[in-house]
Amino acid sequence: MTAQETSDKVVLLGQSETELKQLAQEMGMPAFVGKQMAQWLYAKGVMTIDEMTNISKANRERLAQRCTIGAHGPAEAMHSVDGTIKYLYRTLDGHYIETVYIPDGDRATLCVSSQVGCKMGCAFCMTGRQGYAASLSAAEILNQIYALPERETLTNVVFMGQGEPFDNIDAVLRATEVLTAPWGFAWSPKRITVSTVGLRAGLQRFLDESRCHLAVSLHHPLHEGRQALMPAERAFPASELVNLLRQYDFCRRRPMNDDSSHQRRLSFEYIVFKGINDSMDHARALVSLLDGLDCRINLIRFHDIPDTPLKGVDDEAMLRFRDYLTGHGIFTTIRASRGQDIYAACGLLSTKKQEAERG
């Protein structure tokens, strides 16, 4: 069994129905008790074992002695004037992670974290400056959704918070399995997007084992320029990453007479930096790099972080870059900036909280 154990108690959140059945049988209960636990967890979102009222009181007491749901609400929240809410969750080992709730009309997206800190060291990322502290368990990833006050309003989840998801691939795949399995949250994989800087082994597993959408943090079309921004480029260059993606049907551009649609989506994230990756030469190189892929590009405005020479561009430059890409066959959008007044850049709030606790 793969359950995380904390304080001598087995964490139920994140376990599959099969594992919950095995746990019930190990404790001398019928296997169907495990199915009941899965329903209480994933369909009803209970916070305590005692709420599982169709399990006998005696069995609930036995479960409570050995097990815990593993769910806990946010430790802190910051509300933006635009409706965005940044939540701070405390992990079991005392670290902090950020989760961002982004309502937008009839959609509500949650941006979740997969690690405490990050190993990737991207020049534009505040989380990378924290260094790497730990990878989250599947339960800690799911708790960001499970214990969210606005959980019932969610339409989408994106793994674009703190950490590199493919550096924690086992827990991320387990979390997405729980979210999409019929015995779990029963979401469509189309509601979930996982973002990566491009780690070869994790990417390969995700492409083969998941049906969720993929977003690649690209940010520069040329090897030297991307390497300066993102050290991960050294180990797995974007050109090799794109070649791997071309091997998968959902990533390949369809012929003009093919009106079928892929259920799975590939996108590239591109933060636009002044004088770094914003010229028409960069736009042309981007079109060349992504030739043949069925993809979209999300252009992102840079959120300033302390002590960096990197600067964003004005709206005119963003529009010019977008229009060039669109004019050359790549569907391109400019992502709206949200939560600018509440430490919008990922990692700022948790860094501030941890520094305050250290005194």
Active site residues: 98, 346
In a 3-state reduction of DSSP, which class is residue 67? strand
In a 3-state reduction of DSSP, which class is residue 347? coil
Helices assigned H by DSSP within the chain: 17-26, 32-38, 57-66, 126-130, 138-146, 169-180, 200-209, 223-229, 232-235, 238-245, 280-289, 315-327, 348-358
What is the rounded (10 degree) CA torsion for 165, 192, 179, 49?
80
Reading the block at residue 304, the tokens are 């300033």
Residue 200's closest CA among 169, 174, 158, 221?
169
In a 3-state reduction of DSSP, which class is residue 207? helix
**Contact partners, residue 248, CB within 8 Å, separation at least 6:** 207
